[in-house]
Structure 1
């Protein structure tokens, strides 16, 4: 027979395991909440009619319009950046998407001058809105995995901001 302390050790072990499971569940819950606060457009609201496609984006807590989308069929996260001339893709994302590095050249950014590589995107989608054959920069200076959606993608869209919603419309 086991010693009297054996059931006590089992109880302590189960107690510690219960706390670890609770901590893991809390981590997953709050990680999901923070992700939704950064990107409230993980499921993009779209409308399609005979004359246009409309996408509605909600502003995040930092005041940015961030949305999930697709580049060449791969899931990405994009931020609308009307101050960017071209789409700017972090190097790590470009590698994951297997985008080819073209000619390198310097560009002026809010953080100074950085050398980027030219690339092309065959298809970019946000909800029901799809754009084709777009120039982009592969930018090694972008720290996270968010793609900056610049004016070369936005130039043919109507942008309407009302309250905390940005409407993108393609005719």
Structure 2
């Protein structure tokens, strides 16, 4: 039984690396197509394009290999790390408070596995999330203690609302 648990743990550890493998392939490779589309949005962020197949937001890979983007969350501008390995949008408590999301100490009861171990997070909802021309509404999120998270994460609870996203060379293209 332990062999199966170790094998599954190994596979789960490799899942976040899969998009990086496809990142150096041709334009069509590594396309991830989440299920639904949402409403239009305003213009901000690195690069956006309203032509072609929908609202797009293009993010260049940073020198450290991460995809960082400017986002407007509930009207406040934040720099977020795009993390396909994160199941939800995750906000440090200080950032959540600044955008009107207030978690009480008793709300921190959801166990969350982080790189530094397991911490308790609080369930939250992001009313409005803008990434360039891409605009998403009512995104499930987690608030984590500041000691557990220093940079807000743009996780799959938001990315699943896109019609697709894909990696091409050193860019990540988000399409609504």
TM above 0.5: yes
Task: Identify the residue that residue 96 of structure 2 maps to in structure 1.
Answer: 94
Task: Identify the residue that residue 137 of structure 1 maps to in structure 2.
Answer: 142
Q: Is the 8 A contact 2:91 2:149 kept in 1?
A: no
**Residues in 1 aligned to 2:74 and 2:102: alpha-carbon distance in whole angstroms:** 13
The structure showing larger relative contact order (alpha-carbon pairs under 8 Å, at least 6 residues apart) is: 2
Cα offset for 1:78?
Answer: 0.7
Q: Is the 8 A contact 1:91 1:142 kept in 2?
A: no
**Residues in 2 aligned to 1:86 and 1:43: alpha-carbon distance in whole angstroms:** 21
Cα offset for 1:107?
Answer: 1.4
Task: Identify the residue that residue 173 of structure 2 maps to in structure 1.
Answer: 167
Unaligned runs of 5+ in 1: 1-41
Q: Deviations over 1:114-162 (max 9, x none)?
A: 0111111100011111110011111114443x21011110013212111
User: Partner of 1:62: helix, strand, or coil?
Assistant: coil
Q: Aligned match of 2:133 in 124, 128, 131? A: 128
Q: Which moved more, 1:105-114 or 1:73-82?
A: 105-114
Q: Is the 8 A contact 2:89 2:154 kept in 1?
A: yes
Q: Aligned match of 2:118 in 109, 113, 121? A: 113
User: TM-score, normalised to structure 2's length?
Assistant: 0.67
Q: Which has the higher strand share?
A: 1
Q: Which runs of 4+ in 1 moved over 2 A?
A: 141-144
Unaligned runs of 5+ in 2: 1-43
CA RMSD of aligned residues (A): 1.8
Larger radius of gyration: 1
Measured at CA, do residues 109 and 166 of structure 1 come closer, stay the same or move farther in structure 2, by a change above 3 Å? same
Task: Identify the residue that residue 153 of structure 1 maps to in structure 2.
Answer: 158
Q: Which has the higher helix share?
A: 1
User: TM-score, normalised to structure 1's length?
Assistant: 0.69
Equivalent residue pairs, number: 128
